């Protein structure tokens, strides 16, 4: 079973969001990529920590929140 079974993991937190004043993050709270004008990220990579929930629905909400801000 171990030879045939596997898991599927979604990458999360690879482009983490931090506060405006925290330069350690890749994106700011408005989901703008620091150092790349006009580029925003709205997926699981911006999560600073694991949300322990289904990532699909969380990503949908991240995208909807960004769409409202940009609209």
pLDDT at 9: 67
Return all residues near 33 (Cβ < 8 A) that are at least 6 apart: 15, 26, 27, 39, 40, 41
Rounding to the nearest 10 degrees, give the CA dihedral for residues 58, 45, 63, 18: 100
* Cα 71 → chain centroid: 20
Catalytic choice (7, 10, 24, 36): 10
Query: Is-catalytic flag, 10?
Result: yes
pLDDT tens string 8-64 = 666 788 888 899 899 888 999 999 999 999 999 999 889 877 777 778 898 999 999
């Amino acid at each position: 079973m171990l030879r045939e079974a596997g898991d599927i993991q979604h990458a999360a937190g690879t482009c983490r969001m931090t506060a405006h004043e925290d330069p350690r993050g890749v994106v700011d709270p408005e989901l703008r990529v620091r150092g790349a004008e006009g580029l925003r990220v709205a997926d699981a990579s911006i999560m600073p920590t694991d949300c322990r929930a289904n990532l699909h629905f969380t990503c949908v909400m991240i995208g909807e929140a960004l769409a409202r801000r940009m609209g």
